[in-house]
């Protein structure tokens, strides 16, 4: 299985990355056999090559940005002996590929922030790391999954690093769209655009990779409109299904205002539960590791002077929990948008297949009892709720306001 196999519906991107990995491999091999080794080839050593030092991956949520970047990182570290026989790097099996994919390769640093933002200090640490020679003799790869979350000063630190890359450093930057990236950073990267993968391709992958039954896989892929991670979660995770049920109860419980507000409360609760379970284990493990590192005996007191470090950890965990709650709620609101899109499809008599086949009855009922203009206003209300949450409005308040607006329709 090659490293590209999990990249669904992105043939063009795979072609480009595979070509870059081939050139990168040739470059490393040449440098290793040449007398000058690492001293000679600077950044200009790659000119005219399919390989370069900075890459920007953009694409809609769920298109597999991080998957693409990680596959590329693995291909850059591939040490399969088949390469010498004309095989392409990125075998998926060798030590280089494998450790890069599971996240333990010494020369692949993945920054998967679950904080609300990434600060300059973190970024500076990364830049410092990239000055080191790769321990495996190939590439020092830094993968930043969400550069739209960089603070302004962090972005400036990154800009300097991307402007003057160390000879063996590769920056892989991911963002939802190029608008989320400083133009000065963007212009120094080779830009790859991922598309929303086709529903069939997502369903195929769920069946092939995750062993999910075909009808469940197809339903999950269709419901989530080609969002790979959400499709997989919906097909495999009961919590995701609970949250979805809670959100789809909203449009059908609009009879009286009390009912609508209760539905709002349930939605916020479901998202909160979902988020809590998502971070609980990580938090507990982190706290335990930190206590051990600080020299606390099990269940015992912490040594003097370490309270600040623990406070800092708590602070980061809190920020992560907030982020998880927001993300979960946002996913629920995306489900709601998809529901009203289906209603609109029905109202306009379009032949497009609806996404929410499992709640077809509710879609039909609402489509026939309301007008398209109302549906559009309701979609706008959902969007406004997402914006409010992004602006830090208390989630319950935002969702209640939305429920009232949906009802007024």
Which residue, 160, 193, 191, 172, is CA-closest to 63?
193
User: By CB under 5 A, which span of 43-51, 78-86, 197-205, 318-326 interacts with Zn ion?
Assistant: 78-86
Q: How far is the CB of 12 from Zn ion (least distance, A)?
A: 22
* Spatial strand order in the sheet of 108-111: 108-111, 140-144, 169-175, 54-58, 190-193
Interface with Zn ion, residue 130, by CB under 5 A: no
Tokens at residue 272, please?
Answer: 């909160």
What value, to the nearest 5°, has the Cα angle with vertex 105 and ends 100 and 108? 75
Interface with Zn ion, residue 158, by CB under 5 A: no
Maximum Cα–Cα distance across the chain: 80
- Which spans in 224-256 are helix H? 228-236, 238-249
Interface with Zn ion, residue 78, by CB under 5 A: yes
Q: Which of 91, 248, 321, 398 binds Zn ion (CB under 5 A)?
A: 91
Nearer to Zn ion, 134 or 165 (CB): 134
Interface with Zn ion, residue 28, by CB under 5 A: no
Q: How far is the CB of 96 from Zn ion (least distance, A)?
A: 5
User: By CB under 5 A, which span of 80-88, 140-148, 208-216, 298-306 interacts with Zn ion?
Assistant: 80-88
Cα end-to-end distance, the chain, whole Å: 51
- Residues in a beta bridge with 185: none
CA 46 vs CA 107, 136, 299: distances in Å: 20, 20, 54
Q: How far is the CB of 373 from Zn ion (least distance, A)?
A: 56
Q: Which of 97, 154, 181, 354 binds Zn ion (CB under 5 A)?
A: 97
Q: Which of 80, 114, 140, 374 binds Zn ion (CB under 5 A)?
A: 80
Q: Which residue has the tokens 């000055």?
A: 131
Could you tell me which residues come within 8 angstroms of residue 340 by beta carbon, excluding any fewer than 6 positions away? Answer: 251, 375, 378, 379, 382
User: By CB under 5 A, which span of 62-70, 79-87, 124-132, 332-340 interacts with Zn ion?
Assistant: 79-87
Interface with Zn ion, residue 367, by CB under 5 A: no
Q: Which residue has the tokens 């990680």?
A: 70
Q: How far is the CB of 134 from Zn ion (least distance, A)?
A: 16
Interface with Zn ion, residue 170, by CB under 5 A: no
Nearer to Zn ion, 90 or 197 (CB): 90
Interface with Zn ion, residue 94, by CB under 5 A: yes
Binding site for Zn ion (CB under 5 A): 78, 80, 91, 94, 97
């Amino acid at each position: 299985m090659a490293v590209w196999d999990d990249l669904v519906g992105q043939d063009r991107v795979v072609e480009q990355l595979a070509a870059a990995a081939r050139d990168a491999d040739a470059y490393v091999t040449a440098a290793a056999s040449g007398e000058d080794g690492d001293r000679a080839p600077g950044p200009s050593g790659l000119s005219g090559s399919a390989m370069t030092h900075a890459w920007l991956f953009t694409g809609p949520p769920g298109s597999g940005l991080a998957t693409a970047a990680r596959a590329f990182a693995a291909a850059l570290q591939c040490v399969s002996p088949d390469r010498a026989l004309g095989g392409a790097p990125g075998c998926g099996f060798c030590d280089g590929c494998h450790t890069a994919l599971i996240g333990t390769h010494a020369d692949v640093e993945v920054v998967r922030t679950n904080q609300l933002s990434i600060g300059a200090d973190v970024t500076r640490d990364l830049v410092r790391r990239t000055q080191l020679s790769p321990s495996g003799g190939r590439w020092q790869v830094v993968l930043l999954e969400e550069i739209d979350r960089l603070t302004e000063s962090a972005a400036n630190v990154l800009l300097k690093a991307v402007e003057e890359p160390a000879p063996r450093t590769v920056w892989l930057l991911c963002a939802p769209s190029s608008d989320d990236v400083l133009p000065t950073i963007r212009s120094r990267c080779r830009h790859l655009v991922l598309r929303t993968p086709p529903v069939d391709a997502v369903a195929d992958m769920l069946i092939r990779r995750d062993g999910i039954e075909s009808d469940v896989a197809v339903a999950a892929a269709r419901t989530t409109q080609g969002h790979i991670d959400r499709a997989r979660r919906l097909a495999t995770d009961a919590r995701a299904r609970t949250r979805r049920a809670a959100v789809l109860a909203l449009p059908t419980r609009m009879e009286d205002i009390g009912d609508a507000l209760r539905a709002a409360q349930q939605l916020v609760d479901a998202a909160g539960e979902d988020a809590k379970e998502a971070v609980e284990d990580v938090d507990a493990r982190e706290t335990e590791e930190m206590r051990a590192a600080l020299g606390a005996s099990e269940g015992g007191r912490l040594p003097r002077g370490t309270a600040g470090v623990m406070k800092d950890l708590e602070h980061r965990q809190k920020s992560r929990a907030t982020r998880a709650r927001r993300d979960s709620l946002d996913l629920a609101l995306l489900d709601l948008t998809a529901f009203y899109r289906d209603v609109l499809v029905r109202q306009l008599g379009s032949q497009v297949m609806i996404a929410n086949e499992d709640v077809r009855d509710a879609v039909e009922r609402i489509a026939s009892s309301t007008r398209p203009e109302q549906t559009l206003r309701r979609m706008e209300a959902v969007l406004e709720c997402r914006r409010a949450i992004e602006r830090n409005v208390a989630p319950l308040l935002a969702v209640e306001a939305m429920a009232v607006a949906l009802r007024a329709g």
